[in-house]
C-alpha cells in the first residue's frame, strides 16, 4: 500500500470524526516519523506490512471513537508536542487563547504565575517556553496528571516550571502576578458528554456542579488571597457562561472584567484584575 492509497482510507473515518483526513494524516506522520509535507511529496512511498497492520489497528480504534491523541499518545499545543493520557484532558486549540491573553496582560519579565488544574502541563509549559524569566507554578489534584506534566516538562528541559500535587490553591503559597486555569465547566447533565472524544476523557476534568460553575466560583473567590495587587485572573469557560462569569468577578470586586472569544467566535475566556485587599 502506497501513501496516496492510505490517505484515501480517511473515508472510513467520516462517520466517527469531524476531521477524518487530518486524523489519517496524523496517524501516517507518526507511523513514518515524517512531517505532513512528506505525505504529499512522496505519495508513492510504500508502507511495509508492519506499518499497514499498525495503521489498520489505529483505524479500528478511531472508528470505535477513541481520540487520535490517545491512539498516538501525544497532541500538539502551542509550539510543543505533549504526551497525553486518559488521566487528563486532551489539550485543545481554543485553550491556546489563555496563553495568548497571559502574554498580553502580563508584561513583567520576572512574573510569578500559577496554572491551576494543569493536566498535561500545556498552559504552564507553553508560557515557560515564551517567558524564560517567569516562574510558573502548576498544580493538579490528580497525581497521575502531575507525573504526566512532569514528563512533558522534562522533555523540554524547562527549569522555570514547578509542579505541585493538590486541589486548586491547596498546595500553593505566596502571591502571583497572574493566575490561570482551564477548570471543569460542563454541567454534569449535558448530553454532549455522551458524544465524541469526551467519552474517553476524565469526567472530573470536564464537569462541575452548579451547572458547571462550582469550580469557577471557588477559584474566583479564593484567587483574591493569592493575587498581588493589580494581578490578573484568567480562566476558560463554556460558550454560554460569559455573562455569568463576568457578573461573578464584578461581584467579587475584580475590575477591568471582560470576556474574550475563541477562534470559533464563542465567548471562551473571562478575565479580571484584582485591585488589592480592601479589608486587610
Q: What is the CATH number of the domain that holds 179?
A: 3.40.50.150
- Same domain membership, residue 151 and residue 266: yes
Instruction: Retrieve residue 113's grid coordinates.
Output: 504565575
Q: Does residue 226 sit within a domain? A: yes
For 141-166, what is the mean pLDDT? 96
Q: Which residues of 75-92 are buried (b: 16+ CB within 10 A; e: fewer)?
A: bebbebebbbbebbbbbb
Output the CA–CA distances (angstroms, integers) from residue 21 to 10, 14, 74, 94, 134, in the order listed: 5, 9, 18, 20, 39
Greater model confidence, 228 or 279: 228
Asked if residue 75 lies in contact with residue 88, where contact means CB atoms within 8 angstroms, the answer is no
- Same domain membership, residue 240 and residue 125: yes
pLDDT digits (tens, 9 = 90+) for 35-58: 889 999 989 999 999 999 999 999
Asked if residue 221 lies in contact with residue 137, where contact means CB atoms within 8 angstroms, the answer is no
- Same domain membership, residue 97 and residue 39: no
- Same domain membership, residue 217 and residue 117: yes
CA distance 135 to 161: 6
- Same domain membership, residue 100 and residue 21: no
Q: Please list the residues that pair with 76 across neighbouring strands.
A: 81
Does the pLDDT of residue 1 top 70, yes or no? yes
- 108: how many CB neighbours lie within 10 A of its CB? 12
- Same domain membership, residue 244 and residue 126: yes
Most confident of the following: 10-19, 55-64, 160-169: 160-169
Band the pLDDT of 280: cuts 50, 70, 90: very low
Q: Does residue 77 sit within a domain? A: no
- Same domain membership, residue 12 and residue 105: no
Last residue of a domain, one of 65, 94, 114: 65
CA distance 117 to 168: 7
Q: How many CA atoms within 13 Å lie on the side-chain side of 69?
A: 23
Q: What is the reported pTM?
A: 0.88
pLDDT digits (tens, 9 = 90+) for 60-117: 999 888 888 989 989 899 999 999 988 888 898 899 999 999 999 998 999 999 999 9
- Same domain membership, residue 58 and residue 88: no
CA distance 109 to 236: 24
Domain hosting residue 15, numbered range: 3-65
pLDDT of residue 207: 62
CA distance 250 to 175: 21
CB within 8 A of 18, min separation 6: which ones? 196
Average pLDDT, the chain: 90
Instruction: Retrieve residue 3's grid coordinates.
Output: 501513501
Amino acid at each position: 500500500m502506497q501513501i496516496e492509497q492510505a490517505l484515501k482510507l480517511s473515508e472510513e473515518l467520516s462517520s466517527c470524526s469531524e476531521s477524518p483526513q487530518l486524523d489519517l494524516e496524523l496517524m501516517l506522520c507518526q507511523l513514518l516519523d515524517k512531517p505532513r509535507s512528506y505525505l504529499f511529496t512522496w505519495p508513492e512511498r510504500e508502507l511495509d506490512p508492519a506499518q499497514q497492520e499498525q495503521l489498520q489497528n489505529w483505524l479500528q480504534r478511531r472508528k470505535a471513537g477513541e481520540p487520535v491523541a490517545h491512539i498516538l499518545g501525544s497532541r500538539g499545543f502551542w509550539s510543543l508536542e505533549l504526551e497525553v493520557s486518559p488521566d487528563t484532558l486532551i489539550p485543545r486549540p481554543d485553550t491556546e487563547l489563555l496563553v495568548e491573553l497571559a502574554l498580553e496582560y502580563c508584561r513583567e519579565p520576572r512574573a510569578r504565575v500559577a496554572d491551576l488544574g494543569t493536566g498535561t502541563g500545556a498552559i504552564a509549559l507553553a508560557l515557560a517556553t515564551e517567558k524564560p524569566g517567569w516562574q510558573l507554578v502548576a498544580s493538579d489534584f490528580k497525581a497521575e496528571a502531575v507525573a504526566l506534566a512532569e514528563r512533558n516538562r522534562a522533555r523540554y528541559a524547562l527549569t522555570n516550571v514547578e509542579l505541585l500535587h493538590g486541589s486548586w490553591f491547596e498546595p500553593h503559597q505566596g502571591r502571583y502576578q497572574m493566575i490561570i486555569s482551564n477548570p471543569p465547566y460542563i454541567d454534569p447533565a449535558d448530553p454532549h458528554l455522551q458524544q465524541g472524544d469526551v467519552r474517553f476523557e476524565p469526567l472530573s476534568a470536564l464537569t462541575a456542579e452548579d451547572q458547571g460553575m462550582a469550580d469557577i466560583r471557588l477559584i474566583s473567590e479564593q484567587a483574591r488571597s493569592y493575587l498581588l495587587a493589580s494581578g490578573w485572573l484568567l480562566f476558560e469557560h463554556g460558550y454560554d457562561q460569559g455573562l455569568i462569569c463576568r457578573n461573578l468577578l464584578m461581584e467579587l470586586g475584580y475590575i477591568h472584567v471582560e470576556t474574550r472569544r475563541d477562534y470559533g467566535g464563542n465567548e471562551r475566556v473571562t478575565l479580571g484584575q484584582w485591585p488589592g485587599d480592601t479589608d486587610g
